[in-house]
Amino acid sequence: MADKRLEPLPKSESCIGLTFEVIPSTFEENLPKERFLTPDLYVVENARQKALEVLNRVSKDEKAGSKLPVVVIGCDTVVVQDGVILEKPKDEQDAFNMLTKLSDRPHEVFSGVALFTAERGAENPHLFFEKTSIVFGPLEPEDIRGALRGLSGVDGEDSLKYFATAYIATGEPMDKAGAYGLQGQT
């Protein structure tokens, strides 16, 4: 299954005249959050480090005869609620805790982008972020029953528990900041 985050990329090089290759970064995303004054600075630095790691790796390949890329893009996303940065869940229990904490409460999604170009070099990337405010509406028992197709007797406080557990069982939240992806399961 293709990564939904790649859908905005053109389907053919004739669209923009460039070929592209997705090279996942090996950057560990372990920057100390307390060193950053705001979530946007944190997410942009993660994006920069991811892109820089890929740029350094492909630059070594270029010295071995491969072509140096014209553009390297690094991206990162975090969810922030009450000043706390939520990244990818560590395990299913962590995913469950995140989803229940986010339910019917406002939070923000920060997406950071670092764009390295051949013209600007490694020292001067384009850096930017986008912030989106989100509130998951309260989930009504009948909505959850429909989503779970076949489970009956689910209502009240148990409904969120069943819904979150079923969603986690799909595996989707495990590689998503805040344990959810808006572009994913419907």
Question: Structure tokens of 13?
Answer: 């090089």
3-state secondary structure at position 108: strand
Q: Which of 80, 100, 77, 86 is nearest to 167 (CA)?
A: 100
Q: How far apart are CA 152 and CA 144, in angstroms?
A: 10
Q: Which residues are catalytic?
A: 76
Distances (CA, A) of 162 to 103, 139, 140, 158: 13, 11, 12, 6
Q: Which residues pair with 77 in a beta bridge?
A: 111
CA distances from residue 95 to 60, 73, 100, 102, 165 in whole angstroms, order as listed: 37, 28, 9, 11, 9
